[in-house]
Amino acid sequence: MVIHYKCPSCGDDMAFDSESGRLSCASCGREDKIEDFSDEFIKATFSDEDGKEYHCKNCGAVIITNEDTTATSCSFCGAGVVLGDRLSGTLAPVKVLPFQISKDQAREAFRKWCRNGRLTPPGFMSANRIKNITGLYVPFWLYDLDSTADVRAVGTKVRTYTRGDYIYTETKYYDVYRDIDLGYAKVPVDASTKMNDELMDKLEPYNYQDLKKFKTPYLAGYIAEKYNYDDEELFPRVKEKVQPFIDSYIHSTIKGYSSLRYKTKNIHTRMHNSYYVLLPVWMVYYDYDKQEHTFAMNGQTGKVVGKPPISYKKVAAWWGSIAGVSFITLKIIALLLGGSLL
Amino acid sequence: MKKRELLKIAIIVFIAFFILIPSLVHAEKQLIFDGAEVLSSGEKSMLEDLARKYGAERKTDFIILTVGDPEAGDIEKYMADFYDNHKPGFDRPGGNTVILAVEFYKSEGKNEFYLAGFEKGEKYVDNARADQITDKLIPYLKAKDYVGAFETFIETTYDYMGYRPGVNPESIFFDLWFQVLIAIGIGGAVIGVMMYHSGGRVTVNQGTYMDTNKTRVNQRRDAYIRTTVSKRRKPSNNSGSGRGGGGGGVTRGGSSYSGSRKSF
C-alpha cells in the first residue's frame, strides 16, 4: 500500500515542511494541516505478502526498498512515498517527532559544527564535501518505567582529634537502609539494527513536548524505517540505560558519610508503558581523505554526533601550547616560591 | 648658586657615607674563625670572600667556626656562646646570622658539627633546611675536604635562603624535568578529554528522564551501630631532623635559633 501525497491544487508532489510543520507543495505553496488527515491507512489491516513489490503511484516505477523501509522517495521520479502497510497494526507508531530542522538548516548547522572542530584537519573544517544528507525517522521505543530500590549499606563517619601526645581517629558505623521508588518517563531506546546505539544515545535528549500523534504525511519526503526489535526485546537495554541514573539517585539520598559500602542493592524495574515513536535524525555522509565519515544530527535540536577525523598536527599544536602554558605557570609559581630559572 | 652646590656636595657626602661606611664595617668583619687551624691563609681569605659575597646578597652573615680546643665543651653550647659574645649579624650586632661550627679534636667519627640560624637565618634556614644542609656536608667532612665542605655550606645556604620559608628547596617541584613532565601531562590530559568529546558527548543525566511525581524515598534509616577509635602518636614538630638530633634552641643570651647537629 503506497501512499503518495499529490497536491490537490497543482498536482505536484507534496512533502512535510519542517518550518511550517505542515504538508506543503513546493510548486504552488499550498499547505495542509497534518492533524486533519485521516488515520485510515494506519487503522486498516493489510494482507501480509512477502517479497511484495511497491509501485510508485506517481510514475509507476518499482520503488526500491529494503524490508525495513516505511517511507522513502521514488528513485525514479523523486516523489516522497509512504508505505502504509508497514505502518499499520502493531507497526503503527504512536507518536512522531516531526523534523524541526530543514535540510538547508541541517547543512548549515553541520558546517558550523565542522568549523568548531578544534582537532579536525583544516580541509575537513570547510565542510565542502558533504556527499549526502538524508532525513531519517528512526524508530525508537520510549519506556515509562517504575523501579523500586531496596538498599542496605554501611556508612562511616570519621572524626579525628588530638588529646595529649596522641591523635585519635574515631570511626562511627551506621547501618543505612533506603526503600526508594523511582519513576522514569519516556526513556528512548533505538529500535533499529542499522543505527549505532552509542551514536543514537549521544543524540539525546529530544524535547518530547513536540511529539505529535502519528500521521503518515509527516513522513512524506523523508526516509523512515520500522522497528526491528519490539519493546519486550529491548527492555534489557533500557534497564541497562537507566541503571546509572538509579545508582546516582540512590547515592544522592545517602549523604553525610565519609565512606559508604553497599551491602545489598535490590533494584526491580517494571515496564509501565512503552510507546513506538519515530524520532528525526539527519544523517550526514561526508567524504574526506578518500574515506566516508558518517555523522548524525538531532533533527530537532541540531546536535551533531559522530567521530570526526583527527589532525595529528593540530593535536600536537594544542598539546604543545597547553603544555607550554602549564609549564610557564608552574615556572612562575616555582619562581615565586624562590626556585631558580633553570 | 653657591648654596646649591654646597647642598649637592653635602648630599653626595651624605650618600657616600651610607654606601661606604657599611661596606667598610663589613670589610673589617671576620667571618671565618679557624680555631682548629684546618685552613691555610689562602683558603681562609678565599672562603672569607665567598662568605661575604653570598652573605651580602642574603643580608646574612655566614660564619664558620672550627673548634680545636678539647676544653670547648658541647658544640651547640659553644656556638651559642660565640653568638652571645661576638654578636655577629649582617644588619646589626646580634642580627641575621648562619653559623656552621665544627669540632676537630675528637677521634674519627665522633667529631660533631652544628649548623644554626639566627633571626633571618632562623626563618630561612629552619630545622628542616639545616638538616638538609648538614647532610650534604658529611661526605666532604668525612673525606677531610674541609674547603669543599665550607664552600658547600656557603653556597647551599645561599641557595636555600632564596626560597620562601617553609618551602622545601629540594622539592621535586623545583626540578626542571619534573615541571616539564607535569606540563606535558596536563597537555595530554586536556587533549585526551578533547578527543574523547570530539564525537559528541552524552548530555543526559539522571534527572533527564526522571518522573519526579513517582520518585521518592519511602523509608530511610540511618542506625548507629558502633564506634571504633584508633590512636597514633603525634609526629614531632621538627620534621626531618629525627636522625641528626638538634633542632634549635635558645642561647644563654636569649637569642633563639634553628639548627641541626650531625657527626662525621
Among candidates A246, A155, A269, A170, which has minimal Cα distance to B221?
A155
Q: Among A311, A306, A287, which residue's Cα sits nearest to residue A296?
A: A306
| CA distance to A93, A201, A273, B89, per residue, from A226 (Å) | 9, 18, 19, 91
| B134 pLDDT above the threshold of 90 | yes
Q: What is the pLDDT of residue A138?
A: 93
pLDDT over 70 at B242, yes or no: no
pLDDT bucket at A290, cuts 50 / 70 / 90: confident
Locate the domains of chain B by residue range: 31-172+243-263
Which of A202, A242, A321 to probe the B interface (max B CBs under 10 A)? A202
User: Rounded to an integer, what distance in angstroms lies between the CA atom of residue A149 and that of residue A246?
Assistant: 8
Q: Which of A140, A184, A240 to mutate to test the interface with B (most CBs of B within 10 A)?
A: A184
Q: Place A42 in a pLDDT band, splitting at 50, 70 and 90.
A: low
| A67 belongs to a structural domain | no
- Is the residue at A323 inside a domain? yes
Specify whether the CB–CB gap between B99 and B63 falls below 8 A: yes
Q: Alpha-carbon distance A32 to A20, whole Å?
A: 10
Q: Where are the alpha helices (H) located in chain B, listed in sequence order?
A: 2-28, 41-58, 75-86, 120-124, 127-142, 146-160, 176-197
- Residue A114 host element (H or E): helix A103-115
Average pLDDT over residues A80-102: 88
Q: What is the mean pLDDT of residues A215-225?
A: 89
Mean predicted lDDT score pLDDT of chain A:
88
Instruction: Decide: A228 and A68 in contact? Cβ < 8 Å.
Output: yes
B32-57 mean pLDDT: 92
Count: domains in chain A: 1
* CA distances for A79 relative to A25, A66, A162, angstroms: 12, 17, 83
pTM over 0.80: no
Measured between CA atoms, the residue of chain B closest to residue A117 is: B198
Residue position matching grid coordinates 528525526: A280
A259-271 pLDDT, tens digit each: 999 999 999 999 9
The answer to whether residue A338 sits within a structural domain is yes
Write out the three cell numbers for B148: 669543599
Question: Taking 60 as the threshold, does the pLDDT of residue B158 lie above it?
Answer: yes
Q: How far apart, in whole angstroms, are the C-alpha atoms of residue B222 and residue B216?
A: 17
Distance between CA B115 and CA A253 in Å, rounded?
58
Q: CA A335: distance to chain centroid?
A: 50
* Residue B215 · residue A183 · CB < 8 Å: yes
Q: Return the pLDDT at A146.
A: 94
For residue A253, what is the nearest residue in chain B, using CA coordinates? B217
Outline where A269-340 has alpha helix (H): 312-336
pLDDT, average across residues A205-213:
91
Model confidence at B240, pLDDT cuts 50, 70, 90, reads: very low
CB atoms within 10 A of CB A291: 8
List CB contacts (< 8 A) between B158 and chain A.
none
Chain A contacts of B228, Cβ < 8 Å? 170-171, 173
- What sign for the dihedral angle of Cα B111, B117, B121, B123? positive
Query: Which of the two residues, B28 and B81, has the higher pLDDT score?
Result: B81
Q: Band of the pLDDT at A34, cuts 50, 70, 90?
A: confident
Note the ipTM here: 0.78
Amino acid at B178: F
CB contact A127 to B (< 8 Å) = no
pLDDT in tens, A155-195: 999 999 998 889 999 999 999 999 999 999 999 999 988 88
Residues B109, B264: contact at Cβ < 8 Å? yes
Per residue in B177-233, pLDDT tens? 999 999 999 999 999 998 888 888 888 888 899 999 999 999 999 999 999 999 888
CATH code matching the domain that covers B31-172+243-263, chosen among 3.10.310.40, 2.60.40.10, 3.90.1010.10, 3.10.310.50: 3.10.310.50
pLDDT at B244: 45
Q: What domain range is A338 assigned to?
A: 311-342
Cβ–Cβ below 8 Å for B194 and A180: no
What is the identity of the amino acid at A277?
Answer: V
